[in-house]
Amino acid sequence: MARSCTALYCLYRKVIMSKPQLQIRFLVVIVMLSGFFFSCANTPPQRVEAPVETAPPRTVPPQAVPPQTAPPKTVPPRIIPPETVPEKPGLSEDIMGKGRITREKLAFFLEQNNPQADQRFTRALAGFYITEAAAEGVNHDTAFAQMCLETGFLRFGGLVKPEWNNFCGLGAIGPQQPGEIFPDPRTGVRAHIQHLKAYATEEPLNGALVDPRYKWVRKGSSPSIHGLSGTWAADKSYSGKIADILQRLYDFSYGENIL
C-alpha cells in the first residue's frame, strides 16, 4: 500500500503537475482508487468455516427379543374317584364256604357291640377265626357270628368263663357240666371250627382233632345254620339269632353301619 502511494505521488509531480488538464482527471482517479482501497480495507475477509464434524447418527440396536419358548405343559388335575364301598353280597347262611369280612372289620364290629373288649385280643381272635376256618373250608363269617351270640360279644356271663377259651359254649349243658376248657384262644377257636364242620359235612378234618365232642355229632346233618336249632342248642330260635347277627355284620361291613 505504501509503495503504491509513493509511485502515484512521483507520477503526479512529473506528468500531471505540468499539465493542468490532467490534474482533474488524476484527482478523479485518486478519489476512485481511494474509495476502492478504503472499501477493500474495511471489508472483512470472508471466513471460510470449516465443516462441522457431526457425530454419525446413533443407531439404537433393536431390543433383544427373548427366544421363543414352548408354553409350559399343563398337567390335567388328577381326578381321584371317591372311595366306594364294595357292593354288599347276598347273605350266605351256609356253614361251609369262604368268608368275606376282613379281620379288621370283624374286630371292629365286635368292639362296637362291646366297647369294653380288649382291642388287641379282638384283633387276634378275628385272625384266628379266619385262619382256622380257612384250614377246614368253613365260612368264617358264620363262625364269628355264632361266637358273638354264644359269648354275648365276649361279655360271657353264663356257664362258660372267659379264661376257658371256649367261644361256642361247647359242652356247656348245666352247672354240673359248664363246658369244655382249652389251653389257649387259638385251640378254642379250632375246636369251634371242627365242631361246625362236623355238622356241615361228612368230609374228614384237615387238621389234628382238638374238639372233644366231635365224635357225638351226626356228620353232615346241618349244612346251613338253620339246622343248629334244637341240635347245637335247645333254643328253637337259635339259628335265627345267628342269622340276625350275621346280617348285622354284613350291613356294618358294607357301609350301612347298623349295629
* Domain ranges across the chain: 2-37, 103-253
CA distance 79 to 211: 54
H/E segment holding residue 225: none
Q: Residue 132: phi, psi to the nearest 5?
A: -70, -35
Q: How many CB atoms lie within 10 A of CB 116?
A: 8
* Residues 198, 200, 202, 204, Cα dihedral to 10°: -50
What does each of the 259 residues of the chain score in pLDDT, given as a tens digit? 555 555 555 655 665 556 666 666 666 666 666 665 555 555 555 554 545 455 555 655 555 555 556 565 665 554 545 545 556 667 788 999 999 999 999 999 999 999 999 999 999 999 999 999 999 999 999 999 999 999 999 999 889 999 999 999 999 988 888 999 999 999 999 999 999 999 999 999 999 999 999 999 999 999 999 999 999 999 999 999 999 999 999 999 987 655 5
Flag whether the pTM goes above 0.75.
no
Are the C-beta atoms of 23 and 16 separated by less than 8 Å?
yes
- Class of the domain covering 103-253: mainly alpha
What totals of helices (H) and strands (E) does the chain contain, helices first?
7, 0
User: ∠ at Cα 28 (22, 34), nearest 5°?
Assistant: 130
Residues 61 and 208: their CA atoms lie apart, in Å, by 96
